[in-house]
Amino acid sequence: MNIESDKNPKIKNLVKLLEKSRERKSQRKFIVEGRQENFFALENNFQPLEFYIQPEIFKSSLKLPQSVPLYEVSATVYNKLAYRKITEGIIGVFEYEVKKLPEISMSETPFILVIESIEKPGNLGAICRTADAFGADMVIVCEEKTDIYNPNVIRSSVGSFFNVPVISATNEEVYTFLTNKSINLYGTFMNEQSISVQNADLVSSCAILFGTEHQGVSDYWRERIDKNVLIPMKGKIDSLNVSNAVAIISYEVERQRIAPEKA
């Protein structure tokens, strides 16, 4: 089927899914733009519902499931939907999955990133990319403020969102889960017990908690965490963007875990 007009009801609904979290959650659908992003979604068994391609742009060997409806759209329609405009030429609609913590399989010594109340989709997407690069078992977003299926999360993750489980949960659910699994929990705020991340035992199972962009770690966690790691810094600034901090500490986890193997 060809769609030439951006007034088409299907296109109008796609715009709603792109722009409004409540529509994604109520319809149980989310949008995936880009060849690699759709490839990773399919490879990781996310359920496709529809695909929209711009045939003049979409030149790819990506194999789409024949059982899923495929619509060809005009350049005008595609430009209304696509953030990257003339690139890739494919937009997928997938089923919005709600995953629970107990459902996620983990390694014997899991490494988990816990992100509290993150507000900027671009930061969360960058964190997913880091989690994928350094082998995190999952990313947990507690007390969600930005929809984890926000299109900007998926775009900025370059599809890594699909390679690492991303879970939304409450603070209480996360704390109970980590406690029951006997996973060491480290905060990233200053107190009397704070140590350099290089001196922490990150070879054992661990979860690293990062606070909000503006307010840091909440009182809920400050009252429950007695282990804190800090990134040594020499300059005058005393904080980093949360996605940068996640990347540095994730690298340290990987560095410590590789070192024993080489010994």
Asked if the model's pLDDT at residue 190 lies above 90, the reply is no
**In the chain, what are the domains?**
2-95 (3.30.1330.30), 101-262 (3.40.1280.10)
Q: What is the pLDDT of residues 124-180, one digit of tens each?
A: 999 999 999 999 999 999 999 999 999 999 999 999 999 999 999 999 999 999 999
Of 141 and 88, more confident: 141
Instruction: Give the residue ranges of DSSP H helices in the chain.
Output: 9-19, 21-27, 35-43, 75-81, 121-133, 151-156, 171-180, 219-222, 242-262
C-alpha dist (Å) from residue 154 to 52, 125, 194, 236, 248: 17, 6, 34, 34, 21
Q: What is the pLDDT of residues 201-226, one digit of tens each?
A: 999 999 999 988 677 889 999 999 98
Per DSSP, 34 falls in state S
pLDDT, residue 216, reads: 81
Residue 102 has φ and ψ, to the nearest 5°, of: -65, -15
Per DSSP, 109 falls in state S
Query: How many Å apart are CA 22 and CA 75, to the nearest integer?
Result: 28
Asked if the model's pLDDT at residue 86 lies above 60, the reply is no
Comparing CA positions, the residue from 148, 143, 145, 127 lying closest to residue 220 is 143
Q: How far apart are the first and last CA of the chain?
A: 60
Q: What is the pLDDT of residues 24-70, one digit of tens each?
A: 999 999 999 999 999 999 999 999 999 999 999 898 778 899 999 99
Q: In DSSP terms, which residues pair with 70 in a beta bridge?
A: 51
Query: How many other CB atoms are there within 10 angstroms of residue 160's CB atom?
Result: 23
Q: What is the pLDDT of residues 221-250, one digit of tens each?
A: 999 998 999 998 888 777 789 999 999 999
55-94 exposure pattern, b = at least 16 Cβ within 10 A, e = fewer: eebbeeeeebeeeeeebbbbeebbebbbeeeeebbbbbbb
